[in-house]
Amino acid sequence: MNEAAGQLVFDLAQRPALGAEDFLISSANRAAAAAVDRWPDWPQASLLVVAPARAGKTHLGNVWRLKSGAERLEASSLSEDDIAFTRGALIVEDLHDGIADERVLFHLLNLVRERKLSMLLTSQVPAGELNVRLPDLRSRLRALPFVMIDNPDPSLLKAVLVKHFADRQLMVDPSVVNYVALHMEQSMQAAAAIVDALDRAAMSLQRKVTKSLAAEVLMQLGHR
């Protein structure tokens, strides 16, 4: 992390790095992280993680995948070939993108339960809001235990902005981070988009990332 990033200190717990990034924990995702940490002592064989776009469900799923040795599948590409998975754990991601074969997912849920294996599922919306045609699968998904990741609180949002700036090797004053966090939409997705736009603007205009540049970019992106 660069010097400017290091000048900001946040009251956030930080788990050991298990992937390309550190997973920062705050009130927004603490319950979900704790639920994943409890594996393999889950109350049921499967657990659903629900989170808005880019709020960290994929990263948290990857933490669990590395910990459990799980095989990774995308809901939108499920096929009968996936029924033959051989590992003791399975992650099925992005149910909100559609389930290619609902009977396969229903069979996998049964298989995991019968063989006392583990499955983590992820979605941007709760099970009750998924477009599922198969009644048995719809009932099974709605009965799954689930945990939510909320949109980031201010401390987490600032830490994420710092991480994005550092990843792009941008030297940014803490006052700029505070300004952006105050005036932006409060979401992880917005944080990534804003830092990307600021990076492009700074390179195009040959300017440093300042509050005035941040104000221009935020206005262009439709933030208050």
Comparing 136 with 15, the larger pLDDT belongs to: 136
pTM for the complete prediction? 0.73
Mean pLDDT score across all residues of the chain: 86
Range picked from 20-29, 106-115, 147-156, 157-166 for highest mean pLDDT:
106-115
Domain map (residue ranges) of the chain: 29-148, 152-220
End-to-end CA gap in the chain:
29
Looking at 10-24, 161-175, 179-193, which range is the least confident one? 10-24
Token digits for 126? 């709760």
Q: Which CATH number fits domain 29-148: 3.40.1360.10, 3.10.100.10, 3.90.850.10, 3.40.50.300?
A: 3.40.50.300
- Structure confidence by residue, pLDDT tens digits, 95-118: 999 999 999 999 999 999 999 999
Cα 39 to Cα 22, 115, 117, 120, 193, distances in angstroms: 19, 16, 11, 10, 33
pLDDT for 128 equals: 94
- Domain 152-220 class? mainly alpha
pLDDT band at 22 (very low <50, low <70, confident <90, very high): low
Contact 174, 8 (CB under 8 A): yes
The C-alpha atoms of residue 187 and residue 152 are separated, in whole angstroms, by 6
- Structure confidence by residue, pLDDT tens digits, 40-88: 999 999 999 999 887 788 888 988 998 899 999 999 999 999 988 667 8
The C-alpha atoms of residue 93 and residue 167 are separated, in whole angstroms, by 25
The answer to whether the 29-148 and 152-220 domains have the same CATH topology is no
pLDDT for 51 equals: 92
How many CA atoms lie less than 13 Å away from 14 in the CB half-sphere? 13
179 burial class (0-12, 13-18, 19+ CB within 10 angstroms)?
A: middle
pLDDT for 27 equals: 85
